[in-house]
Amino acid sequence: MIEAARQTWRFLEPYHGMIYFAPEAAAAYEELGLTGRAGYFASRSAALGAVPAPVVVATFYNFNPVLVRESITTAWSTTDPAAVLAARYAAADRALRAVLGDAITSPEMRRAATLLREAAEAVAGDVTGRPLFAAHAALPWPTEPHLVLWHAQTLLREYRGDAHIAALLTAGLRGIEALVTHAASGAVPAETLRTSRSWSEEDWNRAVTGLRERDWLTGDADLTFTPTGTARRAEIETATDENSVIPYAHIGESACAELQTLVRPYSRALAKELMPWALARQ
């Protein structure tokens, strides 16, 4: 069941993730006075309310805290969470309509929305230790199927994300160290991870040195795991999977397989239009 759960999450991730790259989202946040990274942090954390910046820092684990603090301070001195949430859902609606067209009213979309909502609602009360998921789970459900599907995937990716942070903390990794191990896995280039999370080269090199001293990484110029590092990273991924499986187990492997078939055309279309690097996973 764990493999089915991981694959279902992966197939659906572009359906949610497109909101971070859609021009409709950037334009909606700019209308509220949010530019640069402020729109990202405000839109993803708005469900928490106008909480102090350290709370957002805590939930955005691997980003440079300075960037998060500055972005949130700017956001909540410029607008408010309710306005940002409304802008986010309106932008998701426009972006999905622009890319998927008539597919948003199809029977396949309604079926996918029904299945994923059932999965998400199965864990709606499982909020202990999952702050970002809990905040989003408290939001009202949209009514249109394409937005129900988007909201359901939002919940499930934050449910998994909170579990991943717990696994990283248990492994003794700081946020930047978690990024370094992600780079060492080969999933994303190190420079992309470093710059997108706003860490300096000095910070990054210090984290690499620390992981080498702890026997996570070899002394090679490139980022290469030691046997210990390979095993520890595998433990993190296993713990994340095990603590994210419940919603998918609730609907079962057959429904997960059906979901993958239903959403693959949507995710591929969105990835092709907005996130071409994600196509390899679809």
Q: Quick one: tokens of 267?
A: 């995710």
Look at residue 118 in the predicted model and tell me its pLDDT.
Answer: 98
Q: What are phi and psi of 225, to 5 degrees?
A: -70, 145
* Residue 282 pLDDT exceeds 60: no
Look at residue 278 in the predicted model and tell me its pLDDT.
Answer: 66
* Residue 175 pLDDT exceeds 70: yes
Strands (E), the chain: none
Look at residue 277 in the predicted model and tell me its pLDDT.
Answer: 65
Give me the long-range contacts of 222-231 (CB less than 8 A, separation at least 24): 223/180, 223/183, 223/184, 223/190, 224/184, 225/181, 225/184, 225/185, 229/181, 229/184
Buried-exposed string 212-245: b where 16+ CB fall within 10 A, e elsewhere:
beeebbeeeeebebbeebeebbeebeebbbebbb
The helix (run of H) or strand (run of E) holding residue 176 is: helix 175-184
Please tell me whether residue 257 adopts helix, strand or coil conformation.
helix
CA torsion, ordered 87, 88, 94, 100, to nearest 10 deg: -170
Phi-psi region of 198 (alpha: psi -120 to 50; beta: other; left: phi over 0): left
Percent over 70 (pLDDT), the chain: 98
The length of the chain is 282
pLDDT digit string, tens, across residues 216-252: 999 887 899 999 999 999 999 999 999 999 999 999 9
The residue among 248, 280, 268 whose CA lies nearest residue 14 is 268
Please tell me whether residue 216 adopts helix, strand or coil conformation.
coil
pLDDT digit string, tens, across residues 22-39: 999 999 999 999 998 999
* Residue 279 pLDDT exceeds 80: no
Distance CA 126, CA 243 (A): 11
Look at residue 276 in the predicted model and tell me its pLDDT.
Answer: 80
Look at residue 281 in the predicted model and tell me its pLDDT.
Answer: 58
pLDDT digit string, tens, across residues 177-224: 999 999 999 888 999 999 999 999 999 999 999 999 999 999 887 899
- For the chain, the average pLDDT equals 95
Region 149-157: mean pLDDT is: 98
User: Which residues make beta-bridge pairs with 85?
Assistant: none
